[in-house]
């Protein structure tokens, strides 16, 4: 079961996917566990630092992004845990969520390449 539909048309998806591709160019995953790759790519540093930058990044999509975070956290944790009054935390949690989808897709594609070889 999926908490929400996230695809290439989702707000900033392609930007975050490009960020991950750049991360892969600079980092070689140590093992096959995609959760470790996701953690290292999206949870060891902030995607955006600063309230002003975060507000600009969110633009008019802020409430839609907050809705996605709310759905994700209620589905996974039973309650909203992100401080949605802090734009920086909103952006970074949203990027974390998109990153989870992007890395899971990358993992499936990567495994298909390995098994086809």
User: Under 8 Å CB-to-CB from 101, ≥6 apart: which residues?
Assistant: 6
Residue 79 lies in a domain: yes
21 within domain boundaries: no
Q: Does residue 53 lie within any of the structural domains? A: yes
Residue 9 lies in a domain: no
* Residue whose token pair is 């956290």: 73
Provide the pLDDT for residue 30: 67
Task: Report residues of the chain scoring pLDDT below 70.
Answer: 1-4, 30-32, 110-117
> Residue 2 domain-assigned?
no
Structure tokens at 95: 């990027």
Structural domain harbouring 72: 33-116
CB 4 within 8 A of CB 68: yes
Domain presence at residue 14: no
Give 82's DSSP letter. S
User: Would you state the pLDDT for residue 114?
Assistant: 44
Residue 63 included in any domain: yes
Tokens for 54? 């975060």
- Say how many domains are in the chain: 1
The structure tokens listed for 20 are 């991950």
């Amino acid at each position: 079961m999926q908490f929400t539909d996230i695809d290439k048309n989702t707000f900033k998806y392609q930007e975050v996917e490009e960020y991950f591709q750049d991360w892969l160019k600079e980092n070689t995953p140590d093992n096959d566990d995609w959760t470790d790759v996701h953690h290292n790519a999206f949870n060891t540093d902030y995607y955006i630092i600063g309230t002003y930058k975060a507000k600009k990044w969110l633009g008019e999509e802020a409430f839609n992004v907050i809705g996605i975070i709310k759905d994700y956290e209620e589905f996974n944790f039973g309650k909203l845990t992100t401080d949605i009054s802090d734009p920086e935390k909103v952006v970074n949690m949203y990027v974390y969520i998109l990153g989870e989808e992007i890395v899971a897709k990358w993992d499936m594609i990567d495994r298909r390449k390995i098994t086809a070889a």
